[in-house]
Amino acid sequence: MARFIAARLGQAIPTLWFVSILIFGLQLLMPGDPALILAGEERGDPQVLAQIRAELFLDRPLVEQYLRWLGRVLAGDLGFSWRIREPVAAVILAKLPVTVQLALMAFAIACLLGIPAGIASALWKDRAPDWIANGVALAGLSTPNFWLGIMLILLFSVHLGWLPPSGYVPLAEDWRRSLATTVMPAFVLGTGIAAVFMRHTRSAMVQALAEDYVRTARAKGLAERVVVAKHALRNALIPVVTLGALELGTLLSGAVLTEQVFTIPGFGKLIVDAVFNRDYPMVQGVVLVTAVLYVVLNLVADLLYAVIDPRLRTA
C-alpha cells in the first residue's frame, strides 16, 4: 500500500507544477490593466501607473514574475489582494469553511438520494421503480439551480417560515442556525448531483448483476442482499467513486448561482468578484487551492479503489 500511495503522489507533483503554470498564465487572458484599476482617479498619471507596476512587479519579465510567485506559494504565501489589501491566504481560509460545509452537505444529500435510487433502479430494471427513478433523475438534471432555489425560498421561508431565506451563520457560532441557513442551498446542489449518481450507479449495477460471479453467488444459495451488497455493489462502486471525487471537487470550487441566490459567502462569489476587479493574486490563489483540492480528492479516490478492489494496488 505504501508503494501504491508513493506512486500516486509521484504523479500528483508534476501535475500540480503544470497546473501552476496554467494558473499563472490566466493573467495574460484577463482583459484590462490592473494598474489602471488600482490607480483610481490618478489613472491618467503615467508616474503613478509606473510606480504601481513596479510595486506589483508587473514590469518584470513573465518568467521572473512566475518564479517569484511560485517561490512565495511554496512558502505558503499567496500574496495580497489588490482590491481589499488583505492576504489572499487569510481570505481563502475565511471562506473555506463555508464552502466545505456546503459541499459536504450537498455531497451527503447526493449520496443518500442517488446511490440507493440507482441500486433500486438496477434491481427492478424495466419495472415501475426503474421508470420512477429515471423520471426523477431526469427532472433533477433538467431543473436549473437558481429556479429551484427560488422555489424553495418561497415555500420554506416565505410561506411556511421554517428556514431563513438567505445568509450564513458559522458552525462555531450557532450550529443549528448554521444548518438552517445551508440546508436549502445544499439540497439544491445535492439534487442535481444525486441524479448523476443515480444514472451511473444504475448503469454500473446493471452491468455487475449480469456478471458470472453474481450468477455463481446466487447459485451457491447466498441471500440476495449479500449478493447485491457484497458482490455486485462493491464492484459497481469504482466508477461511482471516480464520479464522486469529480463532483465533490466541483462543489468545493464554488457554486456561483446557488451562492448568489442564497447569499452564501463562499468560493463562487469570491472568484467572481476577483475576476471582475482584475484581482490577479486572488484569482490565482482560489484557482490554485481548488486545483490542489481536485488532486487530493483524486488521490483519495485512488486509495478507495485499492480498498474496494485489492488487485488495483499492484497497478
What's the pLDDT at 23?
81
What's the pLDDT at 37?
64
What's the pLDDT at 213?
80
How far from the centroid of its chain's Cα atoms is residue 2's Cα? Answer: 27
What's the pLDDT at 22?
84
What's the pLDDT at 42?
55
**Would you list the domain boundaries of the chain?**
2-74, 93-314
Helix (H) or strand (E) holding 134: helix 128-142
Alpha-carbon gap, residue 171 to 301, rounded angstroms: 28
Domain at 93-314, CATH homologous superfamily: MetI-like (1.10.3720.10)
Q: In which residue ranges of the chain is pLDDT below 50?
A: none
Q: Looking up cell 458482490, which residue turns up?
A: 231
Helix (H, G, I), strand (E, B) or coil at 124: coil
What's the pLDDT at 39?
63
pLDDT in tens, 250-273: 887 767 778 878 888 888 778 887
Alpha-carbon gap, residue 182 to 180, rounded angstroms: 6
CB 189 within 8 A of CB 248: no
What's the pLDDT at 108?
93
What's the pLDDT at 38?
65
What's the pLDDT at 168?
83
Residue 39, CB-side half-sphere exposure with 13 Å CA sphere: 19
| Set of cell numbers at residue 239 | 466508477
pLDDT in tens, 199-210: 888 888 888 888
What's the pLDDT at 109?
92
Which residues, 6+ apart, have CB-to-CB distance to 303 below 8 Å? 4, 5, 8
DSSP state of 163: S
